[in-house]
Structure 1
Amino acid sequence: MTELEAFIVEAKANCYIGRAPKNDLSCRDGSHDLSFKKADFSYLDSYFGGTDFMGQEIVWHHGIPIWGMNYFGKILHDELLDAETAGRIITTSLQNLYMQGRFLGGFSHEIEGYRYRDQTEGSYRRFTGIETISRDKLCVYQLDYHGGMIRP
């Protein structure tokens, strides 16, 4: 694992999964921002919405943006899944994934009668993926994401 990959896993684990407090000032009107810094790296997860949401994660090295990811998530069946339960399932599942020292693909987790699944193609350098929650084989939540290295 590269230093960048290790930093991304640590930043993700400390922000959303670690329930980090949102930054006092938003970087964009109406955004919810979570940030993490360590050594020469800094990370920002900036998103809009709640039950249905979209956002962007960026990593800087020495102040230069070098990696990013965009995402859009949506509850597909409000009658079968609420935002609080979805958040708990995602948080617990991703915590288990990050404990493996990774943040991309090939992961499944059963919790509270739901199945969390993450599938990714590619590596941290360039990837696309989908995160889903299913109940009784019906997809009730979906998040699409993509990202990779940023070059000037």
Structure 2
Amino acid sequence: MFNDKLKMLRKMQHFSQDRLAEEIGVSRQAVAKWESGDIFPDITNLIALSRLFDVSIDFLVKKSEACTKREGPLEEVAIDQDELRRFLYKAKIRTYASGIEQDIDGLREYSHDYLYEDPPYHYHDSYVGNEIFSGQEVVTFEGYPVWALSYQGRVLHSDFSSKFLKEALFHVTPERPFKGPVHFQKGASVYHCQIDGDLAWVIGREEVYFNEEKVYELVFHGGLLKE
């Protein structure tokens, strides 16, 4: 829905309703009514929103196709791996790693979920648990699942900082958009990520150390989907 997408985009940019209203030249009350679903912006304001958030008008107004069933075998879906790699990179830095909690319904009870769309691609990250957790990232193309990554992790010590982990993950690179960089350090906290494989099939492990003691670990594997 448009109002949910608008709230998500605003929060991703750390904008208040007042700030968004100022950026596009409308009243805060107008933004509040857009986000509540009471009214819909006219074409002039839709254009302003698409330019501000760097998304298409189609993305703003069209219903998500993420849950739409596509007819035909997966082999018929033509995937440009470079394009998919760029999309994954954008999805990673605008969801969990951004540090912004998205106000959306979870995929399942008690799950934590993050969404990002740049049609025809859609990204959904969903995990359950906290100190010990498990999750999966799925990318769809025109509503059809084309890539997935499963992961399992755990916190080993109270010195672990989720804020540091998110900062490390924010430094993911477009060349390997799976988890974080090979190495990231800030003070006594150190992040490492090892991978084997590429977009088609990858396995890996990430670890966080504090004062040279391991305080967090996660394993992951995934790749392109094929029937």
2:141 matches 1:61 = yes
Unaligned runs of 5+ in 2: 1-80
Please state which structure has a larger fraction of its residues in helix: 2
Contact 2:123 2:140 in 1 (8 A): yes
**TM-score between both structures, scaled by the size of structure 2:** 0.60
Tell me how far apart the structure 2 counterparts of residues 94 and 106 of structure 1 sit (CA, whole Å).
7
Displaced runs of 4 or more, over 6 A: none
Give the C-alpha shift of residue 61 in structure 1: 0.2
**TM-score between both structures, scaled by the size of structure 1:** 0.87
Counterparts of 1:35-46 in structure 2 under 5 Å? Answer: 35-46=115-126
Q: Which has the larger radius of gyration?
A: 2
RMSD across aligned positions (CA) = 1.9
* Partner SS, residue 88 of structure 2: helix
Percent identical residues? 28
Question: What is the total number of aligned residue pairs between the two structures?
Answer: 146
Q: Which of these residues, 176, 183, 186, is aligned with residue 108 of structure 1? A: 183
Q: Which amino acid aligns with 2:150?
A: N
Contact 1:69 1:146 in 2 (8 A): yes
2:146 matches 1:72 = no
Structure 2 equivalent of residue 135 of structure 1: 210
Give the C-alpha shift of residue 150 in structure 1: 0.8
Q: Using a 3 Å threshold, how does the CA distance of structure 1 residues 147 and 23 change in structure 2: closer, same or farther?
A: farther
Higher RCO (CA-CA < 8 Å; seq separation 6+):
1
Please state which structure has a larger fraction of its residues in strand: 1
Give the C-alpha shift of residue 101 in structure 1: 5.2
Structure 2 equivalent of residue 126 of structure 1: 201
Tell me how far apart the structure 1 counterparts of residues 216 and 104 of structure 2 sit (CA, whole Å).
29
Q: Deviations over 1:11-40 (max 9, x none)?
A: 111111123433522211211111011020
Tell me how far apart the structure 1 counterparts of residues 167 and 103 of structure 2 sit (CA, whole Å).
23
Q: Deviations over 1:24-80 (max 9, x none)?
A: 2221121111101102000100011222211100000011000000111111123xx
Unaligned runs of 5+ in 1: none
Tell me how far apart the structure 1 counterparts of residues 85 and 186 of structure 2 sit (CA, whole Å).
27
Q: Using a 3 Å threshold, how does the CA distance of structure 1 residues 23 and 44 change in structure 2: closer, same or farther?
A: farther
Give the C-alpha shift of residue 90 in structure 1: 1.2
Tell me how far apart the structure 1 counterparts of residues 167 and 156 of structure 2 sit (CA, whole Å).
20
* Partner SS, residue 97 of structure 1: coil
Give the C-alpha shift of residue 136 in structure 1: 3.6
